[in-house]
Amino acid sequence: MKGYLHLQSGDVYEGNWNTNVSTQHIEGEVVFYTGMTGYQEVLTDPSYKDQIIVFTYPLIGNYGINEEDFESKKPHVAGVIVYEANAEASHYQAEYSLKEYLEKWGIPLLSHIDTRAIVKKIRAHGSMPARISTSDEKSTIGKRTLETDKVPYVSEKLIKTYGQGNPHIVLLDFGTKNSILASLLARNCQVTVVPYNTSFQVIAAIAPDGVLFSNGPGDPKQLQPLLPTIRQLVEHFPTLGICLGHQLVALALGGDTKKLLFGHRGANHPIKDQKINKVFMSSQNHSYVVDEESIKGTGLVGRFFHLHDRSVEGLTHKELPLQTVQFHPEANPGPSEGDYIFDEFLQTITENKRSAALYA
């Protein structure tokens, strides 16, 4: 059966409707991902909530879907577009084919579609609302999918604690990936995951050694009511912010954010750490960035920068024990060269404890 991608710009692309799902059309923001592998992690990353993902690598699905690499309990994408979808899974860990997994969750898959043309259109005109449909009939596509706050739909609803180690970290869940939790547990931390809108009083009662603001979907400015709480936490605890968490910390301390034309989504983005004068490759997934001009006078200092467009990729603070990164130090998918960020966070916590003991 034929399937069609309709862009808000009026362009229509024809392909094959590959999944047997009840949905005849879905809407979402169309974006593209440039990694050669990692489609399972992308599908289950809550930051992709309600987005239509165009995979630029021409063959997707060849190693199937396993039970080990999920970043959350279910896929969050609205739809998937590939040039060729491999129907057979050639890997010893595979439990499903890509098609079977998407059918299980009712997610449409379009294949044999001109993904290069779609990506060129997005690069020229930006990410935009789009529709996947079984009909080639044009119709108006609104901005509703971009304006909805998606964090409440992907955040944990209950407070949960993992691990028995030390230090004790509170992880505010704006749509966190399992790999972030796993990175902390691998470093012998005790981690308490709390909903995104947990109050300062509740977190202070937990008495953590540090706080981590996670990744998540959407425009950080949709979470304006949370900024006073975020500022309080930053001022009271050693803090690490990742992706959306990085943006929220910047907003809470007086900075501003802006939307990129088509965002950064892939596993090969070069980052420079100006503190140690080192360049490394990173995994990325975001549409919004911190405006470098806006952080002047806030105490925030740019430390990491993207070498393609010099966008801000991470911040420190002149006085507070704070660090943020726009990229994903836990990778999955992607290179793990940036995972020393977790070690620096834990070192900051140790130093903060020593200072507190010294002045006690």
Clarify whether residues 266 and 317 are in a common domain. yes
162 and 61 in contact (C-beta within 8 Å)? Answer: no
Which of the two residues, 12 and 138, has the higher pLDDT score?
12
Is 24 strand, coil or helix?
coil
Same-domain pairing of 345 and 220: yes
Partnered with residue 323 across adjacent β-strands are 240, 316
Tokens read off for 143: 């901005």
Number of domains in the chain: 2
Give residue-wise pLDDT tens across range 49-103. Answer: 999 999 999 999 999 999 999 999 999 999 999 999 998 888 999 999 999 999 9
Same domain, 162 and 308: yes
Picking from 89, 123, 147, the residue at the C-terminal end of a domain is 147
Question: How many whole angstroms separate alpha carbon 267 and alpha carbon 91?
Answer: 21
Alpha-carbon torsion (231, 232, 236, 241), positive or negative: negative
Q: Which domain holds residue 143?
A: 2-147
How far apart are the C-alpha atoms of 30 and 8, rounded to whole Å? 10
| Pair 166, 136 in one domain | no
Give pLDDT, residue 87. 84
Distance CA 282, CA 249 (A): 21
Looking at 44-193, list the stretches that DSSP marks H as alpha helix, in order from N- to C-terminal side: 98-104, 115-125, 144-147, 151-154, 178-185
Do 9 and 64 lie in one domain? The reply is yes
pTM: 0.96
Do 342 and 287 share a domain, yes or no?
yes
Residues carrying an active site annotation: 243, 328, 330
Residues 117 and 176 in one domain: no
The CATH number given to whatever domain includes residue 89 is: 3.50.30.20
Residue 19, pLDDT > 90, answer: yes
Residue 147 pLDDT level (bands cut at 50, 70, 90): low
Tell whether 347 and 218 lie within a shared domain.
Answer: yes
Element (H, E) at 324: strand 322-325
